[in-house]
Structure 1
Amino acid sequence: MAATQRMTVAQALIHFLANQYTVDGDHRERTIPGVFGIFGHGNVAGIGQALKQVNVDSPALMPYYQARNEQAMVHQSVGYARMHRRLATFASTASVGPGATNMLTGAALATTNRLPALLLPSDTFATRVADPVLQQLEQPHDIGLTVNDAFRPLSKFFDRVQRPEQLYSIALGAMRVLLDPADTGAVTIALPEDVQAETLDVPTAFLEEREWYLRRPLPERLPLARAIEALRDARRPLIVAGGGVLYSGAETVLQAFAEKTGIPVATTQAGGGALAWDHPQYLGGIGATGTTAANRLAAEADLIIGIGTRYSDFTTASRTVFQNAGVRFVNINVAPFDAYKHGTQLPVVADAREALDELLAHTDGVAVTADYARLITREKAEWDAAVDAAFAPSGLDRPGQPEIIGAVQAASDPTDVIVQAAGSLPGDLHKLWRVRDPLGYHVEYAFSCMGYEIAGGLGVKRGALADGSDRDVIVMVGDGSYLMLNSELVTAVAEGIKIIVVLIQNHGYASIGHLSETVGSERFGTLYRHYDPQAQNFQNDLPLPVDLAMNARSYGIDVIEVEPGAGAIDDLGRAIRTAKASTRSTFIHINSDPRIYGPDGGGWWDVPVAEVSTLPSTRAARAEYETLRAAQRPLLGEEHAQ
C-alpha cells in the first residue's frame, strides 16, 4: 500500500509547490520560490495556516512574503518571472471577494505578457453550508457563479478544487501550463475556503520533488528549409526580435547570426536587450515608438524575420511600418498562434534559440549587400546622433523627459535594470534607452498597466537577488502611474529591498495628454488641476498642491528632491549616484515639462478620431488621421505570390 500523509488541502498544496523544480539544460531552480499573501476569512485558516505551519516546522520550505495590494502581488511575480526568463515565478494567495478580484488586473497583465504567475484566490463554500457567505457574489441565473469565474478569460489555466481529491490533477495541470513556453500566463487555482481546511490522505509521491523539463521545440525540416530559401532570396532582410529571444536565452546566437549575415536587428518593447545598443547591426526599437533607423529600413524590407514576437500594433505601427509590396514574413515562434500571424506562408514553430542555431549552421554565404550594409551604418549613426542631442541638458528649470532619461542613463551601470510600464516613458525609453545587458530593459508594454512599476520593480530586484546579483533596479514612473499603485514602497522598506524610484512630476497624464491633442480633444481630462465649477472641468492653470515626495517619505523610504532650476539635470545625476551608493531604497523626485518630446522615430499608432465634431481641433485631427490611415496594409503575406 502506497505511503500517505494526513494533511489539509492547503497544506498539501503548499508542500507540493515547495518541491517543484524547473530544469533547462544544466540549470535547475525552484519553480515557486515563495508565496505572496494577504489574508482574509477566505484563506487565513487554509493557505494562511499552512504557511504558518511550514514557517514553524521548516521555514525555508516555502517562504511567505507580505504585500499591501493583491494586484501588486501578481506584478511582483511577473517581474520576477521575466528576470528568470520564465523559469520561475511566485504564487499569490488572496481572500474571497474583493481580495480575489483585486488580482484580476494582475492576471490579465501576466497572460497578455506571456509571463507565468500562479494565482490562488479563495472561493466561497463548496458545501454552501454558509450561503451567502460574507463578500459572496449572488447571481440568480447561476447560483454556482462566483467572482473567481472572472479569472477564466484572463487565465491560461483555470480550475476550482471542489473536492479534496481533485487537488492532484489540478495541481499537476496547473504546473504543466505554468511552464509551457507557448501557453504560459496567469494560472489560477480557485480554492473554496471550506475545502482548503478539509483533510485527505496525500500520497507521498505527490509531495516528493518533481522536475519539469522546459520544452524547446526544434524547427521542422521543411519549414526551416523554406525559411532558409527566403533568406537567400532576400535583398533587404530585417530581424524583429521580441521577448521570445530573451526567454529562450537566444541573445548570443542572435548576435552571431546578425554578425555572420549582416542582417540588421530591431527590437520590440519585450525584446529590448536582445542586442546591445552599440552593436553595428542594432537599429533600436521598431514601430510606433521606434527609431528612424529601424522604421526606415522596415518600410523597404522585403523579408521580415520575426523572432519571438507577437507583432503588437505598436510593433507594426498599426500595420503601416512594413511598406514593401512584396514583403514576406519568416515568423519564428514557439507559439503557433504567433508564428502564423500576417498570413505568412513561412512559419517556423520552434524555440528561438534552437531555430537560430539551425539558421546559423545552414546560411553560409548569406550576407547583405555592401550598399545595404552602408545604409544600415548610416541610419544607425544618424539615430545615435539624434539621441545624443535629445540627452543634451537644456538648462531649463523643468527639463524635458528625454534629458531626464539621459541623466539616468549616464549615472547608471551597464547591468542596471530600467523598469517602466505606462504613460509617455515607454515610448521614450524604447527610442532612447541604450540597453547594455540582456536583462537590463524591463518595460511591461503588452498590458501597459499603470501602477505596475514599483511592484514590478520589486519583483525584478527579487529575481536579481535570487541569482546572486546586486545590480540596481531603477524604476522610472510618472505621477499619474505612481498615484495608481505606490503602496509597495512599504514592502521595500519592510524587507530592506533596495530599489531606486525616479518619479517624474508632470501634474497629469503626459502621454494621454499628448495623444488627446493629436485626436483633437485638447488634453481634456488629462491635467491634475483644481475643479473649475463655472467651466465644469479641470482645464485651468491651477495645479494641485500635491507633495508626492512627502507621500513617499511617509512610507519610511529615503527621499531626494531635485529642485527646479538650470542645474536640475546635473542634480538628478548626483541623486542617482547617491542612491546607487546607498544600501536602502531611494525615491527621487523631479519636475518636468511634459510638452518637451523625444525625437520623432517616424512611427504611427492607430487611435480613431471622431468622424464628425463641432470642434475645429477634432475636424483637423480627423483629416490628418485619414491621411495616415491610408498607409495601413493587410499584411497577409500573399503579395509576393501574385
Structure 2
Amino acid sequence: MSTIRLTVAQATIRFLANQYSERDGQRQRLVVGCFGIFGHGNLAGLGTALLESELDDPRRLPYVLGRNEQALVHAAAAYARARNRLQTWAVTSSIGPGATNMVTGAALATINRLPVLLLPGDVFATRSAPPVLQELECFGAGDISVNDALRPVSKYFDRVWRPDQLPAALLSAMRVLTDPVETGAVTIALPQDVQAEAFDWPDDLFAERVWRVPRSAPEGADIAEAAAAIRAARRPLIVAGGGVLYSEASHALTEFAAATGIPVAVTQSGKSAIPSRQPECAGAIGVTGTAAANALARDADVVIGVGTRYTDFTTASHSAFGCAQVRFVNINVARFDAVKLGGIDVVADARAAIDALTKELGGYRVEDAYHRTVAERVADWDHAVAEATAVDGCEPPTQAAVIGMVNAAAGEDDVVVCAAGSMPGDLHKLWRVTKPGTYHVEYGYSCMGYEVAGGLGVGLARPGGDVFVLVGDGSWLMMSSELVTAIQEGVKLIVVLVDNGGFASIGGLSESVGAQRFGTAYRFRSPSGRLDGPPLPVDLAANAASLGAHTISATSCAEFADALREAKASEHTTVIHVRTDPHTVAPASESWWDVPVSAVPGVADTARARTEYDSHKRAQRDYLRPTRDSLREDS
C-alpha cells in the first residue's frame, strides 16, 4: 500500500474534502467548508493546512473567518438544517476560551439533532512545558482539558493523542454526522503539537467516500397496527415535526392529509412541512400554537406524530391532549422518540412511513362533520390573525403587525429566521408559509444570539431568496457579531431588529408567575436601588451601522413598510430598527406551559399565579400505550 507523508492537520483537511453524503441517489459534499478563528492552539496546524488547501484550490474546503466561536457553530447548525442535514460545516478554534465558546453551540446542535463538526485545538500531548497558555490544570487528572466540557453536548467525542489515531476518529465522526438517529455535534480535539506532527498515511484514507443516508422502511406489522388505530378514530390529528422536513416528506404529508382529510398541526421545527393555505393545515400546536390546532388537540382521539420529539411546548407539558381514550401513533426514525407518550411506535423514515400508511389505509377519509369542524376552527383563527396583524391605528407598531408586514413582503422562496424571546411564539402562531424550509426558528434550545449567525448559515445554504432575520434587542445585544461575517462573505440579510426595551418574552412569563416583570427591562438603577429608572439610552441602529450594515430606523407602520421595500430592492445587508410595544401580545394559544410558581408566595400576584398553576397541574397527565387486547375490543 502506498503512503503519503502529511501532518495530522493536512491529513484532516484532505480527508474532509473527500467526504460525500448520498440519499435517493443524490450525492453532495458532506463538509462544505470550515468556519474558524485562529489562536495558538490551531494556527500552526489546521490554520497552515487550510492556507495550503486554499492556495491549491480555494473551492476545495473554503475557510470563513468568523467573530465568535459560538456563533460559528450556530451558523454551521443552521446550514445543516437548511440542507436537511445532508451537508454541514466544520468549525475550528484554539484551545481555551475559543473552545469553551463552542459549548453552547454544540448543545444547540445536539439538542436539535443537527450535524456539525468541531475541531478545537488542545493542550500539548507531550506535556513538554505545562502549564501552557490557557491550560486548565486539574489536580486529580493529567489528561483533562477544557475541551472535556464538550463531551456531554457532543454525540461523538474523541481526542487524537497520536497521529495513528486520526483515521479511526475521522471515520467515526463521519458515521455520526450522517446517522439520522445519532447525529448532532461531533468533536475531535486536536492537541496543538500533534496537529503539526508528520505521519505516513495510506493513500486510501484520502479516497472519495460516500456516506449513504438511509431511508429506513417501516415494519409491515407496525403499519397495519397504526392503520387500524386511525381507521377506528373519529377525530384524528397529525402532529408534524422537523423530521418531515429532514426526510423531505412534505409533499407526501400534504397529499396524505388531502386524501384522508386528517388535519395537520405543526411544531416549531415542523412548520413549513405543509403549506398554510392547505385546507387540512390547522396551524401551530402547543404553548405557542393556534387556538384552532389546540382545540383539535384537546378533542383528538388519535394523534399521529410524524418526526416530532414531543417537547413540552408541543404537548403543553402533557396537558394538550384531553381525550380520556387518546391514542398515539408515532412515526420517527428514532425509537427513543417513537415510544414517547405510549405511542404505537413506527420506527422508520417519515416519507417511507407515510407512503406505506397511505397504501395501507386505502380509501379512508374522516367524517364530513369533523372536516367541517376543522374548517370552522381554522377560519376563526385566520380572522384572529388578520385582526392581530392589522396596521390601521397601530402606532407604534405592535410586534404582531411587524410580523404581518414582513410576511407580506417576503417572497415564496424567502426564509424567516428567529430563535429566542417572544417572537418565536408569535411567528409560530401568525406566520404563513408556502414552501418547505422557508420557516427557520430554533426552538429546541431557544438560544438567544442564534438569529444573526443562523441567518448567515441559511444564507450560505439557500442562495437565491432573501433571508429575513427577526431578532429582539435582547438577542442582538448578546450576539450580533456575525453580521460582519455575512457582509464579508457577500451574504445578504434583511435584519428586522425589534426594540421593546428588554426581555419581552421573560417579562410576560414573569407576569404570569406573579414576578411583576422583575429584572426584564433595560433601565437605569434608580435612587431606590432598583432597576426601575428611566430607559437606557442604547442606540441599536447606530450599533448596527457601526458593523457595516445599511441601517434604517422606523417609528411607524408606514415607515416600516417603506424600509422593507428598500431592503428587498437592495443587494446588500440591511438592518431595520423598529420600536414596538412589549405589552401588546398576539392572540392567545389557549394552552399552558408548566413553569412552577412559588408555593410560599410573598406577594399577592404570586398567590394568584399559584392558584392558577395548581388548577392547570390537574390537567397534566401521563400517557400509557394501550394493550393489543384493548385495541381489539375497541375496534
* TM-score when normalising by structure 2: 0.98
Give the Cα–Cα distance (whole angstroms) in 2 for the partners of residues 71 and 183 of structure 1.
22
Maintained 8 Å contact 1:525/1:537: no
- Does structure 1 residue 637 correspond to structure 2 residue 625? yes
Aligned pair partner of 1:575 in 563, 585, 608: 563
Task: Give the deviation of 1:58 after TM superposition.
Answer: 2.1
Aligned pair partner of 2:412 in 411, 414, 417: 414
Match of 1:536 in 2: 529
Which runs of 5 or more structure 1 residues have no equivalent in the other structure? none
- Does structure 1 residue 503 correspond to structure 2 residue 497? yes
Give the Cα–Cα distance (whole angstroms) in 2 for the partners of residues 397 and 368 of structure 1.
45
Give the Cα–Cα distance (whole angstroms) in 2 for the partners of residues 547 and 637 of structure 1.
55
Residue aligned with 1:287, SS: coil
Residue 603 of structure 2 aligns with an amino acid whose one-letter code is L
Give the Cα–Cα distance (whole angstroms) in 1 for the partners of residues 390 and 414 of structure 2.
22
Residue aligned with 2:259, SS: helix
Task: Give the deviation of 1:231 after TM superposition.
Answer: 1.2
* Aligned ranges 1:55-66 → 2 under 5 Å: 55-66=54-65
Match of 1:392 in 2: 390
Give the Cα–Cα distance (whole angstroms) in 1 for the partners of residues 434 and 528 of structure 2.
50
Residue aligned with 2:345, SS: strand
Residue aligned with 1:102, SS: helix
Give the Cα–Cα distance (whole angstroms) in 2 for the partners of residues 297 and 637 of structure 1.
21
Task: Give the deviation of 1:435 after TM superposition.
Answer: 1.0
Task: Give the deviation of 1:145 after TM superposition.
Answer: 1.1
Give the Cα–Cα distance (whole angstroms) in 2 for the partners of residues 235 and 142 of structure 1.
61
Maintained 8 Å contact 2:223/2:360: no
Give the Cα–Cα distance (whole angstroms) in 2 for the partners of residues 129 and 211 of structure 1.
40
Maintained 8 Å contact 1:33/1:63: yes
* Aligned ranges 1:114-133 → 2 under 5 Å: 114-133=113-132
Residue 267 of structure 1 aligns with an amino acid whose one-letter code is V
Maintained 8 Å contact 2:150/2:187: yes
Give the Cα–Cα distance (whole angstroms) in 2 for the partners of residues 342 and 161 of structure 1.
41
Give the Cα–Cα distance (whole angstroms) in 2 for the partners of residues 261 and 101 of structure 1.
50
Residue aligned with 1:40, SS: coil
Match of 2:202 in 1: 203
Give the Cα–Cα distance (whole angstroms) in 2 for the partners of residues 80 and 628 of structure 1.
39
Maintained 8 Å contact 2:394/2:557: no
* TM-score when normalising by structure 1: 0.97
State the identity as a percent: 55
- Does structure 1 residue 494 correspond to structure 2 residue 488? yes
- Does structure 1 residue 519 correspond to structure 2 residue 507? no
Residue 538 of structure 2 aligns with an amino acid whose one-letter code is V
- Does structure 1 residue 547 correspond to structure 2 residue 531? no
Residue aligned with 1:257, SS: helix
Which runs of 5 or more structure 2 residues have no equivalent in the other structure? none
Task: Give the deviation of 1:119 after TM superposition.
Answer: 0.5
Deviations 1:262-319 (A, max 9, x none): 0000000000101001100000000001111100011010111000000000000111
Match of 1:176 in 2: 175
Maintained 8 Å contact 2:224/2:360: no
* Aligned ranges 1:141-220 → 2 under 5 Å: 141-220=140-219
* Aligned ranges 1:55-134 → 2 under 5 Å: 55-134=54-133
Match of 2:350 in 1: 352
Deviations 1:319-339 (A, max 9, x none): 111011111111100011101
- Does structure 1 residue 472 correspond to structure 2 residue 469? no
Residue 518 of structure 1 aligns with an amino acid whose one-letter code is S
Residue aligned with 2:271, SS: coil
* Aligned ranges 1:270-349 → 2 under 5 Å: 270-344=269-343, 346-349=344-347
Give the Cα–Cα distance (whole angstroms) in 2 for the partners of residues 529 and 238 of structure 1.
46
Deviations 1:529-577 (A, max 9, x none): 0012x4222123x1011100000101111001102xxxx1122122112
Give the Cα–Cα distance (whole angstroms) in 2 for the partners of residues 637 and 510 of structure 1.
39
Match of 1:561 in 2: 553
- Does structure 1 residue 627 correspond to structure 2 residue 620? no
Give the Cα–Cα distance (whole angstroms) in 2 for the partners of residues 521 and 193 of structure 1.
49
- Does structure 1 residue 47 correspond to structure 2 residue 46? yes
Aligned pair partner of 2:458 in 457, 460, 485: 460
Residue aligned with 1:93, SS: strand
Give the Cα–Cα distance (whole angstroms) in 1 for the partners of residues 244 and 528 of structure 2.
52
Deviations 1:118-154 (A, max 9, x none): 0011110111112111101111112211111111110
Give the Cα–Cα distance (whole angstroms) in 1 for the partners of residues 435 and 459 of structure 2.
15
Residue 440 of structure 1 aligns with an amino acid whose one-letter code is T
Deviations 1:174-194 (A, max 9, x none): 000001001101011111111
Give the Cα–Cα distance (whole angstroms) in 1 for the partners of residues 425 and 229 of structure 2.
32
Task: Give the deviation of 1:394 after TM superposition.
Answer: 4.2
- Does structure 1 residue 258 correspond to structure 2 residue 252? no
Give the Cα–Cα distance (whole angstroms) in 2 for the partners of residues 46 and 447 of structure 1.
33
Match of 2:591 in 1: 603
Task: Give the deviation of 1:396 after TM superposition.
Answer: 3.7
Give the Cα–Cα distance (whole angstroms) in 2 for the partners of residues 577 and 182 of structure 1.
42
Residue aligned with 1:90, SS: strand
